Amino acid sequence: MMNNPFQNLNRAMKNTVFKDVTFSNERKEAVKEAIRAQHHQTELSSWKEETVHSILQLLQHEPKKGFDISNQLLQHNELSFQQNEGQLYTLLHLLENKELLESHWEEDQKYYSLSLKGKKWLSRFSQGSVKHRLALHSLVEEVSQ
């Protein structure tokens, strides 16, 4: 597993520059709402349906950080986010807004996991390839709305 090259810098900045910075829950919600509004019109046409499926599969057994999701996608030759890793976080936020993913913070790192809705959605794939394709297409359409 690759280490985050900025981990020491992040830690040093949190202990010095940002040590007294806090945000109220109202401010956190305002930021989340701004992200939702900004990405409300985001189209998922640039993401392959298989990419969305791969992300959900990676999260089916344990929570993961976005960085780890990105690395595992690359290990599986999923190159959709290779040139723009920020798009992965956009997709993760959209999936979270559709309640397919949940997130929590541990030691200043955000972890993503499948929600109950995400687990139910992923379980639909045991029905066969035609239903798999239709369910995947429906998910991409739902997330893009």
80-111 pLDDT, tens digit per residue, is 777 777 788 888 888 888 888 999 998 889 99
Q: What is the pTM of this model?
A: 0.61
Query: For a pLDDT cut of 70, what percent of the chain falls above it?
Result: 68
Compute the average pLDDT of residues 127-139. Answer: 61
- Please give the CATH topology (third level) of the domain spanning 47-144: Arc Repressor Mutant, subunit A (1.10.10)
Q: How open is the CA angle 91-51-46, to the nearest 5 degrees?
A: 65
pLDDT over 90 (residue 114): yes
Asked if pLDDT for residue 46 goes beyond 70, the answer is: no
First to last CA, the chain: 35
Give buried/exposed letters for 14-44 (b at 16+ CB in 10 A, else e): eeeeeeeeeeeeeeeeeeeeebeeeeeebeb
**What pLDDT was estimated at residue 141?**
65
